[in-house]
Amino acid sequence: MQNRTHTCNELRISDVGKEVRLSGWMENVREVGGSLAFVVLRDFYGTTQLVVEDADLLAQVTSLNKESVISITGKVRERDNKNPRMDTGDIEVVPDQLEVLGKCRYNALPFQISRSKEADESLRLKYRYLDLRNPDVKKRIVLRSQVVAALRSAMIDEGFLEITTPILTASSPEGARDYLVPARKHPGKFYALPQAPQQFKQLLMASGFDRYFQIAPCFRDEDARGDRSPGEFYQLDMEMAFAGQEDVFSVLEKVLPPVFAKYGTYHIASEAPFRRIPYLEAMETYGSDKPDLRIDLMAQDVTALMEGCGFAPFEGQRIKAVKVTNFTGTRKQIDKICADTEVISGNKVYWFKVDEKGDIAGGIAKFLQDRKERVVQELKLEKNTLVAISAGKLSAAQKTAGVLIKQLGAMCENHFDREKYEFCWIVDFPMYEIGEESGELEFCHNPFSMPNGGLDILQKARRGEVDPLSITAFQYDLVCNGVELSSGAVRNHDPEIMVEAFSLVRLGEEDVRAKFPAMYNAFCYGAPPHAGIAPGVDRMVMLLAGEDSIREVIPFPMNKNAQDLMMDAPSAVEAKQLEELHIALVPAE
């Protein structure tokens, strides 16, 4: 290999006496008594200790700053004080030649390489090339590469063909803001970076391809979260012709568990078939459409049980209870759970518990004394059980209960089987919802989904015979450990059904033709039934690595404000560039 005979993680006791050449970064230099120095040399593969005993080489080494890149030639010898924490800890190399390949010209680094994860995030992102030198950071990117390779191999084994789709395309309403690219040759018009290859993969099905996939880059101008990176992300995009919901499920239930079991922090993953949970049941039972099934806590509707108890916040509200058996927490811990849940959900939380004597005590217990036997019986309460309660409109009570389940699960290890990957499918999502901003009927998820009931149910909704909000779609989410990995659907491949679906959200056939011309026309030439899904690669790797932030598994991530601090993007451009694109910047009013 160029500049080396071995890597810095390769030499062992069997190599003692060999003349070798190593290259890497000087991670640490420790001079002893002015007569020798110990140098830790690091490359991509690991570290090796050098012992510099030659006076000229010692002067050369001590004149260099840490993180300089050097190449040395020397002899391997056995170490007197072996280091079991290093793979190469049984040996050391005594150099007789040294060449400086890349000099570090700064005396001080922005942070210590081996402890870069403790540094301020903005510093880490600005000097990401230094952050990535940290082996602990680097291994997340190595893991990402291994996972992508495993996913690609598994999809090919399942008969899928990898096809890349365009990056420059037309803007379309897919739920998030587009990134727009001005078209120099077409003044006043713009390309859009794809939020997903949704239309292209459906067009591939209409073109006669049977099974498509790609590790697809997607671009959405949306705010960052712990599990969502602003700007761009990658997904395992797939589509199948002549397929339905169970066909898609079958493929991912074969592809994902082996990858999670092999590369995950935990080596246990759900086996097929994953649990199927209807959306309404998930909200009612877990208070979330992203339930973490490692937690065995559930929500119960106790509206009828609590009705008329005299506690004002319950009057006229839906009431949900989360029961925690064998509860050993303190009053201080209960108060913290209640406070944290209120901050997250925006809703107050109430509680009581059954003590060691079997009496109802604490919290709102005084309001339940007239019905305590009924409460204990209906909720099947045992001694040392905590009951946490949420109240409000149905959605608020459910979501607050969902937050409670996660908070209580995290605190009560006896209710949380943490070290495994638990998958489930959330199915039967509502086709429509009332928009928070518009106050009008809108698509709930993907507008290209096939409704349960097909054309007939949509026509009945248009005639007022069926409530549109009661229509469900062949839409599904894949959830793992409380994280949504993907949304997918059986597609609406029939132009007549498509037009009818859009008519309920006030868009006519001409609107559909105008917004989705290629797909609408392709379907008019005959399209097969098809279905697909697109699990997020970044989120998968985040789960596998056991990280809480998605930025830890992206080689060059943006910050929370969608800025690349390392490359200083977004940045201003020259006036000439704007003129070529027929763009003028005007001051905001």
**Interval 9-47: pLDDT, tens:** 999 999 999 999 999 999 999 999 888 999 999 999 999
Confidence of residue 587 (pLDDT cuts 50, 70, 90): confident
Q: Would the pLDDT of 57 be above 90?
A: yes
Confidence of residue 564 (pLDDT cuts 50, 70, 90): very high
Mean of all residue pLDDT scores within the chain: 94
Q: How many helices (H) and strands (E) does the chain have?
A: 17, 22
pLDDT for the residue numbered 175: 65
Tell me whether strands 530-533 and 231-241 are parallel, antiparallel or unpaired: antiparallel
Question: Quick one: average pLDDT of 91-96?
Answer: 97
Q: Strand order of the sheet with strand 231-241? A: 161-162, 211-220, 231-241, 530-533, 483-490, 475-480, 423-427, 275-278
Angle at 243 (CA atoms; ends 237, 248), nearest 5 degrees? 45
Model confidence, pTM: 0.91
Amino acid at 275: R
Confidence of residue 232 (pLDDT cuts 50, 70, 90): very high
Confidence of residue 73 (pLDDT cuts 50, 70, 90): very high
Angle at 284 (CA atoms; ends 279, 287), nearest 5 degrees? 90
- Closest by alpha carbon to 23, among 73, 76, 79? 73
pLDDT tens-digit series, residues 516-557: 888 899 999 999 999 999 999 999 999 999 998 999 999 999
pLDDT for the residue numbered 226: 67
Mark out the alpha helices in 390-533 (DSSP H runs): 394-411, 454-462, 495-503, 509-515, 517-524
Q: Would the pLDDT of 1 be above 80?
A: no
Same CATH topology for 13-102 and 295-416: the answer is: no
Q: Reply yes or no on domain 295-416 having CATH 2.40.37.10.
A: no
CA distances from 378 to 152, 321, 386 (A): 51, 12, 15
pLDDT tens-digit series, residues 356-396: 888 999 999 999 999 999 999 999 999 999 999 999 999 99
pLDDT tens-digit series, residues 136-168: 999 999 999 999 999 999 999 999 999 999 999
Question: Quick one: average pLDDT of 449-463?
Answer: 94
Domain residue spans of the chain: 13-102, 295-416, 430-472+494-527
pLDDT tens-digit series, residues 293-348: 999 999 999 999 999 999 999 999 999 999 999 999 999 999 999 999 999 999 99
Asked whether 387 and 323 are in contact (CB, 8 A), the reply is: yes
Q: Which helix (H) or strand (E) holds 279?
A: helix 279-286
Q: Would the pLDDT of 514 be above 90?
A: no
Tell me whether strands 275-278 and 423-427 are parallel, antiparallel or unpaired: parallel
pLDDT for the residue numbered 173: 63
Which contacts of 375-379 are long-range, i.e. CB under 8 A and separated by 24 or more positions?
Answer: 375/305, 378/302, 378/305, 379/300, 379/302, 379/305, 379/321, 379/323
Question: Quick one: average pLDDT of 431-441?
Answer: 89
Dig out the tokens for 42 from the structure: 């690091």
Sequence-distant (≥ 6) Cβ neighbours of residue 438 within 8 angstroms: none
pLDDT tens-digit series, residues 105-134: 999 999 999 999 999 999 999 999 999 999
Question: Where would I find the beta strands (DSSP E) of 33-118?
Answer: 36-42, 47-52, 69-78, 91-102
Sequence-distant (≥ 6) Cβ neighbours of residue 312 within 8 angstroms: none
pLDDT for the residue numbered 174: 60
pLDDT for the residue numbered 224: 75
pLDDT tens-digit series, residues 233-271: 999 999 999 999 999 999 999 999 999 999 999 999 999
CATH architecture designation of domain 13-102? Beta Barrel (2.40)
